[in-house]
Amino acid sequence: MANTDPQSSEQQGSERQGSERQGSERQGSERQGSERQGSERQGADAHARDAAVVEQFRAGATPPGMHRDRLVLLTTTGRRTGRRRTTPLMVHRLDGRVLVVASGNASPSDPVWVRNVAADPTVHVELDDEQFDARARVLAGDERAVAWGAIVSTAPFLADHQRQVDREIPVVELDRV
């Protein structure tokens, strides 16, 4: 027999909405947890990939899909941990200067390495044919604009990265010390 009591129908509707809301909140929470785990997995994958590139580069090999002469290994000091961190990056040479770009593959925020050099600009640089200690300096104003123009003329995908983010992608010069 169907329930025709209006109050009972309202209660059932309210209970159903509450149950749907809880289910939706639970799904949202599960989705956020899943996204966080996915993000952590991607971070772990990126660290493993970077470690493999560093190992291959230091062994004198060319990492798959890369050009050895366009790579630099940049070692920074972690701003929170104080540990040395090595990151493989694409190097750009401009009028004898060594430059790197903090695109982070169009990440919405600056990569950790650029935050590390902001805290401690003392770095170690490993290129295909040499190694040296350097001071990292984030370019600004006209100096950045000129360097950025030269860089995107040889690496146009970086202009696409800039269009995808709200931040100005830093260009960092590695000055020998």
Question: In angstroms, what CA-CA distances link 129 with 17, 60, 68, 72, 78?
Answer: 67, 10, 10, 10, 26
pLDDT: is 66 or 23 the higher one?
66
The terminus-to-terminus CA distance of the chain in angstroms comes to 88
Q: What is the pLDDT of residue 157?
A: 96
pLDDT of residue 1 exceeding 90: no
Q: What is the pLDDT of residue 3?
A: 43
Four-residue CA torsion sign, 36, 42, 44, 46: negative
pLDDT tens string 44-64: 788 899 999 999 999 999 999
Q: 61: which residues sit within 8 A by CB, 6+ positions away?
A: 68
pLDDT tens string 73-124: 999 999 999 999 999 999 999 999 999 999 999 999 999 999 999 999 999 9
Q: What is the pLDDT of residue 43?
A: 65
